[in-house]
Amino acid sequence: MSRFWSPNVHSLTPYVPGEQPREQLIKLNTNENPYSPAPGVGSILRDFRTDHLRLYPDPSSHELREALARTFGVEVEQVFVGNGSDEVLAFAFQAFFCHQQALQMPEISYSFYPVYCNLYGITRSALPLDAQWRIDLDAFSNDAGGVVFANPNAPSGHGHTRKDINTLLERIRDTVVLVDEAYVDFGGESVIPLVAEHDNLLVTGTFSKSRSLAGIRLGYAVGSRELIEGLERVKNSFNSFPVDSLCSAVAIAALEDKEHFEACRTAVITTRENTRQRLEQLGFDVLPSQTNFLLTSHPKYDAAQLFVGLRKRGILVRHFNTEALNNWLRISIGTDNEMNSLIEALESLCA
Ligand SMILES: *Cc1c(COP(=O)(O)O)cnc(C)c1O
């Protein structure tokens, strides 16, 4: 508490990201990609003209947005970019969700959503997941102040089909539906093709997970021109240059290498399913996952204790201190070697 803070700063509850440890640990706690970015990224960094950094970057990030538009088969005016999808989400909450009516979201989803609500004074309505830990799409209503969810969802891992979400969009036409596709490349079905039909659909994505570029901080949104213009208005009232020139060049190189992208995401999916099998052999319950992590719980061993035991063995996973998730661990998918170490450590902890 400080007498110097603006009044609403006292009541903020900031998001706490997974730990970025200083010591060498097998890091399976923040869903980073275990593989290097596309080789073209290395050439960009080696050849980048230092003198170029004198200049401000293009405030509209035109070239990068063009590359994304090509990738997704949309117009450049339908693409927005920002400093991580977290920033894109923050802009979207401000641009579309500051209404009288409550913003609807699943009770269990990305824990940054309630934080933005708090920041912008948005009332929130949290809807329970169904018995299989799936989002109940029928529970969202057209008269809400907006709808936001991650698809596939985090940390539950389940993803709805494009057809399911299309049915939702046929019913919800008067408020913005934001679908956060941070994990879609690991087995989900993107709803970007639905943007052409639904002017209230905003889809966000990130370079942090499937593109192995969490360090550059780049996220994007795809939607109708009207929605993208709303985001631009907020962005240009906040920071004209959220995406720097080095970041743009790196991201374009990453987008161009489709082969590397396919190889990495396929490897993660294969390792995920092997890991699932091995966890189940150890008696763990493992939720189905279309993401680069597994949410798992053991009927006999306490998740908090397993977390501590793994950490002592040099392996960092994510444990959430909430009632619903207290006995679950979220384990990011690393390389096969890293997952071998994880399984060995769990074997000794569950012996
Ligand atoms: C990781 C994650 C993000 C944030 O991505 P950045 O681009 O790194 O900010 C957004 N949404 C969900 C659901 C995530 O898991």
State whether 219 and 268 are in the same domain. Answer: no
Average pLDDT rounded to a whole number, residues 24-30: 94
Domain assignment present for 1: no
Task: Determine the atom of ligand 1 nearest the C-alpha atom of 214.
Answer: 8
Domain assignment present for 277: yes
**Which of the listed residues 68, 81, 184, 208 should we mutate to test ligand 1's pocket, taking the one with most ligand atoms within 8 A of CB?**
208
State whether 294 and 242 are in the same domain. Answer: no
Average pLDDT rounded to a whole number, residues 290-310: 97
- pLDDT > 90? residue 351: no
| Ligand 1 centroid, distance to 312 Cα (angstroms) | 28
- pLDDT > 90? residue 21: no
Average pLDDT rounded to a whole number, residues 189-209: 98
Query: What is the chain's mean pLDDT, rounded?
Result: 97
Domain boundary among 218, 237, 257: 257
Task: Determine the atom of ligand 1 nearest the C-alpha atom of 86.
Answer: 9
Is the shortest distance between the CB of 32 and ligand 1 below 6 Å?
Answer: no
State whether 253 and 263 are in the same domain. Answer: no
Distance CA 181, CA 192 (A): 9
Share of the chain above pLDDT 90, in %: 95
Distance CA 223, CA 143 (A): 21
Burial profile 181-195: b = 16 or more Cβ within 10 angstroms, e = fewer = bbbbbbbbbbbbebb
- pLDDT > 90? residue 22: no
Give yes or no for a contact between 213 and 185, defined as CB atoms under 8 angstroms apart. Answer: no
Residue bearing the CA closest to ligand 1, atom 14:
182
Residue 287's domain is classified under what CATH number?
A: 3.90.1150.10
pLDDT for the residue numbered 235: 98
State whether 91 and 235 are in the same domain. Answer: yes
Number of domains in the chain: 2
State whether 333 and 244 are in the same domain. Answer: no
pLDDT for the residue numbered 149: 98
pLDDT for the residue numbered 317: 97
- pLDDT > 90? residue 1: no
Residue scoring higher pLDDT (13 or 296): 296
**First-to-last CA distance in the chain?**
47
| Ligand 1 centroid, distance to 214 Cα (angstroms) | 9
State the amino acid at position 200 in one-letter form.
N
Band (23; pLDDT cuts 50, 70, 90)? confident
State whether 238 and 265 are in the same domain. Answer: no
State whether 320 and 244 are in the same domain. Answer: no
pLDDT digits (tens, 9 = 90+) for 32-60: 999 999 999 999 999 999 999 999 999 99
**Which of the listed residues 15, 20, 85 should we mutate to test ligand 1's pocket, taking the one with most ligand atoms within 8 A of CB?**
85
Cβ within 8 Å of residue 23, ≥6 positions away = none
Average pLDDT rounded to a whole number, residues 213-232: 98
Distance CA 148, CA 201 (A): 10
Is the shortest distance between the CB of 214 and ligand 1 below 6 Å?
Answer: yes
- pLDDT > 90? residue 17: no
State whether 57 and 205 are in the same domain. Answer: yes
Cβ within 8 Å of residue 179, ≥6 positions away = 149, 150, 151, 165, 191, 201, 202, 203, 204
Distance CA 224, CA 157 (A): 27
Residue 169's domain is classified under what CATH number?
A: 3.40.640.10
State whether 225 and 326 are in the same domain. Answer: no
pLDDT digits (tens, 9 = 90+) for 107-159: 999 999 999 999 999 999 999 999 999 999 999 999 999 999 999 999 999 99
Residue 23: give the domain boundaries. Answer: 7-36+259-349
Burial (CB count within 10 angstroms: exposed 0-12, middle 13-18, buried 19+), residue 50: exposed
pLDDT for the residue numbered 39: 97
Give yes or no for a contact between 153 and 135, defined as CB atoms under 8 angstroms apart. Answer: yes
Domain boundary among 257, 288, 319: 257
State whether 178 and 308 are in the same domain. Answer: no
Residue bearing the CA closest to ligand 1, atom 11:
182
Residue bearing the CA closest to ligand 1, atom 5:
85
pLDDT digits (tens, 9 = 90+) for 327-342: 999 999 999 999 999 9
State whether 125 and 214 are in the same domain. Answer: yes
Domain boundary among 219, 234, 257: 257
State whether 201 and 67 are in the same domain. Answer: yes
Average pLDDT rounded to a whole number, residues 226-237: 98
State the amino acid at position 233 in one-letter form.
R
Domain assignment present for 328: yes
Domain assignment present for 2: no
| Ligand 1 centroid, distance to 9 Cα (angstroms) | 24
